Structure formats: structure tokens, C-alpha cells
Structure 1
Amino acid sequence: MHRMIAALIFLALLALPASAQQDVERQKIAYLIESVATLQGATFIRNGTEYDAKRAADHMRLKLRFAGSRVKTAEDFITCCGTGSSVSGIQYTIRFHDGRTIDAATFLHGKLAGYEARMASGAH
């Protein structure tokens, strides 16, 4: 089922003009950043230092600006801006209010998959 949804999304993206595809990807990236910014009670751990959700989202926005044209898709954003430190190589993690910890890339990929599934089903 997931492969069929992914294939439909891929085909739909191929049919869009380049500027429309860029808009779709920018919307996905904005959604991912907003998903981070609005996490209640979460702690983001970057290079061993803890940050709240707003500061983590601000950092991702900064990294996005510095990445420039290297980030064309939401997947590029996750890889370049949401996975880990480009300086130390240490992966970013998220500790939720219940103590559960997940790496940021896994969280962002899950959010992206949910967003794409909603868009494919027509639910906005």
C-alpha cells in the first residue's frame, strides 16, 4: 500500500511544472519545520546540548538558509538540515515528554510520510 501511494505521488510530481514541484517541496519543508517547532514538551539534543522545540526549529531554518540550492526537496532538507551536525557528525535526537527518544531523521521521515499520504488522499 505504501509503495502504491509513493508511486502515485511520484507520478503526480512528474506531471507538475518545475515551479509547482518546487512549491510542493517548500510546503513539505515548512510542514517539517513546523512539526518540530510545535512539539510540546520535547527536548532536542544537538551535539550533547539540549534545546526546546522552538530553538531546534530555528536552527533547522538557519541550516536551510545556509544549504541554499543544495536543498531542493524535503528529503534533501532532512539529509542536510535535520539529521545531524555537519561539523561533528553527531546525529540529532529528540526526547519526548514521556522519556522516549528517537533520532531526528526518523521523526522527520515519519512526518513526511504522513504528510504525503494525506496529500495523496486529498485530505489537507
Structure 2
Amino acid sequence: LIVILFTGFLGSAAAATMSEEIEHLLGFVADSGCTFERNGSTYESKEARAHIQRKYDYIKNRVKTTEDFIRYAATESSMSGKKYHATCDGKTITSEEWLTTELRRFRQQNP
């Protein structure tokens, strides 16, 4: 019984961690002040966050890790296959690189 309870506790702790990481990344996008390019159009950071949230809500059942969240909800258009980009302080990078870097930083500060 103790093993079963302990295993269940570990499972919920992992899910909470993933949830916290995803919420952090969504907040990071919204508060970034960066512009986002998606399918040739640019969007403000709060619009980008709303789009990524809608996409995440749609594909949530496929997401098993925070890296899956980035890959499936915040990397590229599922319609055109074009990569998403973030432009911050005049520098443009893929949203995948940008969010993965932030996830690493967040994990280092929140072990």
C-alpha cells in the first residue's frame, strides 16, 4: 500500500511540475514584449500567448512533457509547417530555440 501511495504521489508531482513549467512559458511569452511571426504575419506577445494556449488546449492529450508542449504547440504551424519566430531586441530566433532556452533557465532556478 505504501508503495502504491508513493508511486501515485510521484506521478502527481511530475504532472504539477510540467504544468508549472508550461504556465511559466506561457507567461514568459505574454510578458516578453517580443513580436512573433506566424505564417508570414506578426503578432504582439499577448496575441502569441493566446494562440499558443488555444493550440495547447487542442493538442493537450498528446503532451507528455514540457518539451512536447514546445514541439506541438509553440514551434510551427500545423497547417503550413512554417516555423514560428520571436523577435526580441532586434534579434530573431525560432520560438523553439527561444522557449527551450527559457525552459532550461527556469529549471535551473527551480530544481
Match for residue 64 of structure 1 among 49, 56, 65: 56
The CA RMSD measured in Å over matched residues stands at 1.3
CA distance in 1 between counterparts of 2:106 and 2:90 reads 25
Identity %: 35
Match for residue 31 of structure 2 among 38, 54, 58: 38
CA distance in 2 between counterparts of 1:72 and 1:26 reads 10
Gaps of 5+ in 1: 1-13
Shift, 1:67, TM fit: 0.3
TM-score by length of 2: 0.89
The correspondence of residues 80-119 of structure 1 with structure 2, limited to 5 A, is 80-96=72-88, 98-119=89-110
Which residue of 2 is the match for residue 8 of structure 1? Answer: none
Structure 1 segments (4+ residues) deviating >2 Å = none
Gaps of 5+ in 2: 1-6
Helix, strand or coil for the counterpart of 2:61?
helix
Helix, strand or coil for the counterpart of 2:97?
helix
Deviations 1:60-91 (A, max 9, x none): 10011000210121101000001110110000
